[in-house]
């Protein structure tokens, strides 16, 4: 493997795990306060127990999600320090929004989790609102950065110093569809996963009140999950249309399928990844639809359909990860997809152009970071720690 | 105010607040797992449930503060990237390895800490102890990595200081401080070595494709400034030291960054890519001092918590029973840790750290000792100068460095003197450090005497502690945290005007696009409010459930 392949592999690996956990987290941050509110309102102890179980899972995995994000940042720093230097200088505000909200979210998790049964209902619900809102808003900052990496709207040069006009950056045509698509995907995948888990648990418990609570979660959740999948289609199309301004990226995804913009050059064919993603999406739609019709016709899912619904939730998470990879790699080898656009090139002062071209290219890796010794250590540690992460999940779900 | 002399005052203050919060929390993240590990070992050995409860209680506290620490650490990390992106870029390019390896440590912390908690009832005892060991190794491994980077920033590997304690002479006029650089032969060949030697550079050897030189830091600092400001050789001081026959258009158009990058990469390769930061001359003392500080602070905090429990029991007239035994054992356990930790910290780790600073950061040492006539010096007033010189340099004949003899511009290149001095402000560290340092030492001694008093009653006199001593435990838990914090202030603020000593100043490290001061102030207030909420949450969720009436510490 060459240097850039090593770098890209580790970035993709850590980002993938982070994305899976973070999407579960966003969904749980919204679902748990809602379920708990409903349980309290209806005096449903079984539903309360279920929502606490979900919160406990989130509290236990939030740190794991965070640490994989840190790993991603540090790999980025080590393999592409010049890019990170540029990003740090330009993207202060979008990142700052995300960081401040991360701190709020963390405080909300602590308060909500440890405050369960300790705070008054009102105070706890307020903490729940903060938990949900912060979870929904954190991605806005990060998605603003991703949208900037699509096309650097709002970027100006003051002499040789790059500056970002935040207002203009927020009007990036790819930002809103990307953000909304991400949020709806999180909520939908989380909902499928939670309803699937509840359906499977339904068959494993003998406690009638708990079964009723689980059934109500499935009954109410599945239609929303189906609606979320429908909405995903619309938002996906919107994001696709918005990407037409980013020709390089658009053509790499859709060009081989016959949908091209600009000169239609396909530099790095990733249409196969889009096709896999669409197949997985179709499978989810099918499985969730089957669950929906079963509820309508028979009152509840069969044992097999319950397992299939849980499987659909897992597929949804995999689909999200593939979507992220598609979004990121379709601009390979550039950090900013639009950097090859002549208009963008013309806006960059010629004296900084060579440096930027070098720093924004993923094939230019910090050679000190790809030394064999370092990579052997990385493989060893990451294997051990990935297995330990799996073992942790095993311990977590293991019955006493 | 001396704070404002140096560049980027507002962003330094914001970073100061963020990292100070993180520093306070990480004392527990690094310190508590050792206490928990020992308690669990004692449980494994004795089978006494008391030790299991103690271990569980510590782990519970550990998990909560770890989670808070992870959040503040993430904020600090992003703060570093956003406020000091050029420092981040430099670190990522040349001293990335410990940061990279810290990821493994952080992963280890997270996974094993959670496993620790959720595995109490699910793992066999011995396996759980192994998990506990990993949960202890994680934070220490993490500390070892981060402290190595910080040590490098305090005293980079290959640093030659500018002070001779035997004569009491500063060596600035001979070009010191200097830093070892490995210059690729291709670059060395085009340089006018004679001229560079006149500027203080020394050629110390040749190794493979590099020429080893000791370069005055005032030249390195200037080159770093030029590199990050997009200079080419045409406008650089390099133009003055390149042999005329090589000054063609290609060379003149070469970015200084490209040349500096080649030199720094060659230097790191020569010293050791994975070891360069660990070879910092202040690393050993630093890591021992940091871990020692964490254990001391953690022990004092646990001691205070159980002193308060003891007071509660005393007021209720409880003198025996399971809960009483548990509280009493926990208190003694914490007292032993506190005593051993503070003694080691003061006599071994702190001393080692002090000698390293005295040797490699003499300017900072001069400020710490307040050897200036312009201020009231505590060491001078109490006649401690000879003693401090002995402690710093191992000889009563040694001299403390004289602050007043440090030129304000020793870090500035003579060619670009005025421009560089204007942006850096002052090459000397701030003198208020003297008071911070001596307050720290004074409070540390008081804390030591306090815990000695506790130990005397517990283990020599073997009687109940006087109520006053129990009441003092809480203030001393706060004081010892303040001592640790002041130590960190001395280390970090004392490095000014440097971000990386001898290499990079804050104006270069700083973002080219700073946020408005009002926004920085808002963010600072935000962090302080959040910290307040978190502190309240920790108190409410950690302290209150431990009260006897609520139940035994961990159910």
Would the pLDDT of B553 be above 50?
no
Whole-number Å distance between alpha carbons of A253 and A274: 7
Nearest chain B residue to A358 by CA distance is B258
Cβ distance of A395 and B119 shorter than 8 Å: yes
Query: What pLDDT is recorded for position B1?
Result: 62
Q: Flag if B511 and A351 touch (Cβ within 8 Å).
A: no
Tell me: the pLDDT tens digits for A329-362? 999 999 999 888 888 888 888 888 888 888 999 9
Written as six digits, the tokens of B19 are 């990292």
* Interface contact A99-B534, CB threshold 8 A: no
Confidence at B21, pLDDT banded by 50, 70, 90: confident
pLDDT at B549: 42
The alpha-carbon gap from A395 to the nearest alpha carbon of chain B, in Å, equals: 6
Most A CBs within 10 Å, among B15, B73, B78, to test the A interface? B78
Listed residue (B337, B326, B318) closest to B50, CA to CA? B326
pLDDT digits 0-9 by tens, B91-136 = 999 999 999 999 999 889 988 998 998 888 889 999 999 999 999 9
Residue among B77, B92, B96 whose CB faces A70 most closely: B77
Chain A positions in Cβ-Cβ contact with residue B273 (cut-off 8 Å): 368, 371, 374
Q: Which of B29, B84, B85 best probes binding to A when mutated, by most A CB atoms within 10 angstroms?
A: B85
Q: Which residues in chain B have their CB less than 8 angstroms from residue A373's CB?
A: 274
Phi and psi at residue B248, to the nearest 5°: -90, 175
Q: Do B108 and A388 touch (CB under 8 A)?
A: yes
What are the b/e assignments for A119-134, b being 16+ CB within 10 Å?
A: beeeebbbbbebbbbb
Please give the average per-residue pLDDT across B192-207, as a whole number.
93
Distance CA A329, CA A335 (A): 9
Which residues on chain A are in Cβ contact (under 8 Å) with B230? 160, 351-352, 355
> Checking DSSP bridges between strand B210-216 and strand B178-184, what pairing results, if any?
antiparallel
- Assess contact for B379 and B445: CB atoms under 8 A: no
How far does the CA of residue B524 sit from the closest CA of chain A (Å)? 11
pLDDT level of residue A64 (50, 70, 90 thresholds):
confident
CB contact under 8 A, B101 and A377: yes
Q: What is the pLDDT of residue A107?
A: 87
Residue among A85, A114, A352 minimizing CB distance to B89: A85
B85–A377 CB contact, under 8 Å: no
Average pLDDT for B462-466: 91
| Among the partner residues B97, B108, B534, nearest to A107 by beta-carbon distance | B534
- Given an 8 Å threshold on Cβ–Cβ distance, is A368 in contact with B96? yes
Give the least confident one: A51-65, A192-206, B219-233: A51-65
pLDDT tens column, A117-144: 888 999 999 999 999 999 999 999 999 9
Contacts of A68 in chain B (CB under 8 A): 107
Contact predicate A134/A101, CB 8 Å: yes
Interface test with A, best of B94, B110, B128, B547 (most A CBs within 10 A): B110
Q: Do A104 and B530 touch (CB under 8 A)?
A: yes
Verify whether the Cβ–Cβ distance A368 to B93 is below 8 Å: yes
CB contact under 8 A, B70 and A163: no
- Among B96, B95, B38, B27, residue whose Cα is nearest residue B62: B27
Q: How far is Cα A243 from Cα A251, in angstroms, rounded to an integer?
A: 10
B176 to chain A, minimum CA–CA distance in Å? 29
Say what the pLDDT of residue B542 is: 63
Whether residue B177 is preceded by a cis peptide bond, meaning omega within 30 degrees of 0, is yes
Q: Do B534 and A369 touch (CB under 8 A)?
A: no
What pLDDT band is residue B552 in, cutting at 50, 70 and 90? very low
A163 with B89: Cβ contact below 8 A: no
Structure tokens at B473: 């435990």
Q: How far apart are CA B337 and CA B410, in angstroms?
A: 45
Token pair 């897992």 is found at: A314
At B303 the three-state DSSP class reads helix
Task: State pLDDT tens for residues A137-164.
Answer: 999 999 999 999 999 999 988 888 888 8
Partner-chain residue, chosen from A67, A88, A104, that has the shortest CB–CB distance to B85: A88
Inspect the interface and report whether the beta carbons of B67 and A99 lie closer than 8 Å. no
Q: Which of A77, A88, A162 sits opposite B82 (nearest CB)?
A: A88
Angstrom distances, CA of residue B292 to CA of A296, B277, B344: 65, 20, 7
Among candidates B448, B455, B470, B450, which has minimal Cα distance to B332? B455
Taking an 8 Å cut-off on Cβ atoms, the answer to whether A164 and B523 are in contact is no
Give the chain A residue whose CA is nearest to the CA of B128: A395
Contact A84/B269, CB-based, under 8 Å?
no
CB contact under 8 A, A67 and B511: no
Neighbouring residues of A345: CB distance < 8 A, sequence distance ≥ 6: A339, A353
Nearest to A98 by CA among A61, A58, A136: A136
Q: If you average pLDDT over residues B341-357, what whole number do you get? A: 96
Beta bridge partners of B159: B179
Residues of B in contact with A92 (CB under 8 A): 82-83, 511, 513, 515
Chain A interface, best mutation among B262, B264, B512, by max A CB count within 10 A:
B512
**Residue to substitute from B100, B112, B132, B534, interface A, most A β-carbons within 10 A:** B100
Predicted local confidence at residue B543, as pLDDT: 61
Q: Using CB atoms, pick whichever of A70, A84, A95 lies closest to residue B106.
A: A70
The confidence score (pLDDT) of residue B551 equals 39
A-B C-beta contacts closer than 8 Å: 211
Residue to mutate among B79, B80, B114, B531, with most A CBs inside 10 A, is B114
Classify strands B178-184 and B169-170 as parallel, antiparallel or unpaired. Answer: unpaired
Averaged pLDDT, B213-238: 96
Q: Domain residues of chain B, as ranges?
A: 2-157+280-546, 163-271
Q: How far is CA A220 from CA A224, A292, B195, B231, B437, in A?
A: 7, 10, 81, 64, 63
- CA–CA distances in Å: residue A92 to residues A202, B71, B84, B473: 47, 19, 10, 43
What is the radius of gyration, based on Cα positions, of chain B? 26
- Contact at 8 Å (CB) between B303 and B334? yes
Query: Which residues on B lie below 8 Å from A396 (Cβ)?
Result: 114, 118
Interchain contact, B269 vs A103, CB within 8 Å: no
The residues spanned by each domain of chain A are 1-172+332-393, 199-329
Please judge whether B115 and A96 are an interchain contact, meaning their C-beta atoms are less than 8 angstroms apart. Answer: no
Indicate if the pLDDT at residue B223 is higher than 70.
yes
Q: What is the pLDDT of residue B547?
A: 52
Give the pLDDT confidence of A220-253 residue by residue, as tens digits.
999 999 999 999 999 999 999 999 999 999 999 9
Does the distance separating the beta carbons of A103 and B527 come in below 8 Å?
yes
Please answer yes or no on whether B513 and A391 come within 8 Å at the CB atom: no
Q: How far apart are CA B58 and CA B17, in angstroms?
A: 27
Q: Give which of B452, B457, B473 is closest to B309, Cα–Cα.
A: B473
Strands of chain A (E only): list them.
155-158, 161-164
pLDDT digits (tens, 9 = 90+) for B498-543: 999 999 999 999 999 888 888 888 888 887 887 787 777 777 766 6
Q: Kindly list the residues from chain B whose CB atom is less than 8 angstroms away from the CB atom of residue A93.
A: 515
pLDDT given for residue B517 in this prediction: 83
Name chain B contacts of A114, Cβ cutoff 8 Å. Answer: 64, 537, 540-541
- The ipTM of this complex is 0.86
Tell me which of A81, A130, A158, A370 to substitute to probe the interface with B (most B C-beta atoms closer than 10 Å): A81
A86, closest residue in chain B (CA to CA): B85
Contact A160 B540 (CB under 8 A): no
Q: Which of A69, A89, A381 sits opposite B512 (nearest CB)?
A: A89
């Amino acid at each position: 493997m060459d240097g850039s392949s090593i770098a890209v592999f580790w970035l993709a690996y850590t980002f993938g795990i982070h994305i899976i956990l973070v999407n579960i987290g966003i969904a749980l941050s919204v679902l748990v306060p809602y379920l708990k509110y409903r349980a309290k309102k209806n005096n449903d102890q079984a539903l309360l127990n279920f929502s606490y179980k979900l919160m406990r899972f989130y509290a236990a995995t939030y740190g794991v999600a965070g640490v994989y994000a840190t790993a991603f940042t540090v790999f980025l720093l080590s393999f592409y320090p010049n890019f990170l230097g540029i990003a740090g200088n330009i993207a202060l505000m979008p990142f700052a929004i995300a960081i401040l909200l991360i701190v709020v979210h963390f405080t909300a998790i602590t308060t909500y989790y440890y405050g369960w049964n300790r705070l008054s209902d009102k105070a706890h619900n307020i903490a729940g609102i903060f938990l949900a809102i912060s979870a929904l808003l954190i991605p806005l900052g990060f998605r603003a950065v991703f949208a900037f990496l699509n096309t650097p709207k709002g970027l100006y040069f003051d002499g040789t110093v790059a500056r970002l006009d935040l207002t203009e950056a927020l009007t990036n045509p790819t930002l809103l569809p990307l953000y909304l698509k991400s949020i709806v995907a999180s909520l939908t995948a989380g909902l499928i996963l939670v309803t699937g888990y509840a359906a499977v648990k339904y068959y494993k418990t003998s406690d009638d009140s708990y079964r009723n609570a689980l059934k109500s979660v499935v009954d109410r959740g599945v239609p929303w999950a189906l609606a979320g999948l429908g909405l995903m289609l619309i938002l996906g199309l919107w994001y696709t249309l918005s990407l037409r301004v980013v020709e390089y990226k658009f053509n790499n995804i859709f060009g081989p399928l016959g949908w091209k913009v600009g000169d239609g050059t396909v530099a790095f064919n990733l249409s196969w990844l889009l096709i896999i993603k669409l197949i997985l999406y179709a499978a989810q739609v099918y499985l969730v639809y089957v669950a929906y019709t079963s509820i309508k016709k028979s009152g509840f899912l069969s044992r097999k359909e319950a397992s299939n619904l849980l499987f659909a939730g897992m597929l949804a998470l995999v689909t999200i990860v593939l979507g992220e990879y598609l979004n990121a790699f379709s601009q390979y080898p550039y950090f900013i997809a639009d950097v090859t656009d002549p208009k963008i090139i013309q806006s960059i002062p010629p004296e900084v152009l060579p440096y930027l071209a070098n720093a924004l290219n993923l094939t230019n890796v910090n050679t000190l970071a790809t030394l064999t010794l370092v990579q052997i250590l990385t493989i060893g540690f990451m294997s051990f720690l990935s297995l330990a992460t799996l073992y942790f999940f095993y311990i977590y779900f293991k019955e006493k | 105010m001396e704070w404002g002399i140096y560049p980027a005052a507002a962003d330094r203050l914001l970073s100061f607040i963020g990292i100070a919060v993180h520093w306070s929390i990480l004392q527990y993240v690094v310190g508590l797992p050792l206490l928990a590990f020992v308690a669990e070992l004692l449980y494994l050995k004795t089978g006494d449930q008391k030790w299991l409860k103690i271990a569980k209680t510590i782990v519970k506290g550990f998990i909560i503060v770890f989670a808070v620490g992870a959040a503040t650490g993430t904020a600090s990390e992003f703060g570093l990237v956003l406020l000091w992106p050029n420092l981040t870029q430099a670190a990522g390019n040349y001293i990335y390895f410990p940061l990279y390896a810290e990821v493994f440590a952080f992963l280890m912390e997270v996974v094993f800490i959670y496993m620790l908690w959720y595995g109490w009832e699910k793992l066999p005892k011995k396996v759980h102890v192994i998990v506990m060991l990993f949960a202890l190794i994680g934070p220490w491994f993490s500390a070892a990595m981060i402290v190595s980077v910080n040590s490098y920033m305090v005293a980079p590997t290959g640093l030659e200081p500018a002070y001779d304690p035997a004569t009491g002479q500063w060596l600035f006029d001979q070009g010191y401080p200097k830093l070892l650089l490995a210059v690729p032969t291709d670059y060395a060949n085009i340089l006018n070595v004679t001229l560079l030697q006149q500027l203080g550079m020394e050629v110390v050897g040749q190794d493979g494709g590099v020429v080893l030189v000791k370069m005055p830091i005032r030249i390195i600092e200037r080159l770093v400034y030029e590199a990050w400001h997009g200079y080419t050789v045409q406008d650089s001081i390099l133009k003055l030291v390149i042999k005329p026959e090589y000054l063609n258009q290609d060379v003149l158009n070469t970015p200084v960054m490209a040349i500096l990058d080649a030199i720094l990469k060659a230097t790191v390769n020569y010293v050791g890519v994975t070891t360069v930061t660990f070879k910092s001359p202040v690393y050993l003392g630093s890591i021992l001092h940091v871990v020692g500080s964490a254990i001391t602070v953690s022990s004092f905090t646990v001691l205070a918590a159980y002193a308060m429990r003891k007071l509660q029991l005393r007021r209720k007239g409880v003198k025996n029973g399971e809960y009483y035994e548990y509280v009493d054992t926990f208190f003694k356990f914490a007292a032993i840790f506190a005593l051993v930790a503070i003694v080691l910290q003061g006599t071994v780790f702190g001393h080692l750290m002090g000698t390293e600073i005295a040797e490699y950061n003499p300017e900072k040492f001069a400020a710490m000792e307040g050897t200036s006539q312009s201020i009231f010096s505590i060491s001078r007033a109490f006649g401690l100068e000879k003693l401090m010189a002995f402690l710093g340099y191992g000889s009563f004949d040694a001299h403390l460095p004289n602050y007043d003899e440090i030129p304000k511009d020793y870090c500035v290149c003579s060619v670009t003197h005025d421009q560089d001095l204007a942006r850096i402000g002052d090459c000397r560290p701030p003198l208020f450090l003297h008071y911070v340092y001596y307050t720290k030492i004074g409070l540390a001694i008081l804390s030591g005497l306090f815990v000695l008093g506790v130990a005397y009653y517990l283990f020599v006199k073997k009687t109940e502690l006087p109520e006053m001593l129990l009441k003092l435990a809480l203030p001393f838990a706060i004081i010892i945290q303040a001592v640790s914090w002041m130590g960190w202030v001395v280390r970090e603020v004392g490095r000014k005007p440097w971000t990386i000593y001898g290499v990079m100043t804050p104006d270069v490290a700083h973002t080219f696009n700073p946020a408005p001061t009002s926004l920085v102030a808002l963010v600072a207030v935000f962090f302080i409010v959040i910290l307040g909420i978190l502190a309240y949450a920790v108190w409410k969720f950690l302290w209150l459930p431990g009260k006897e009436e609520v139940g035994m510490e961990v159910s």
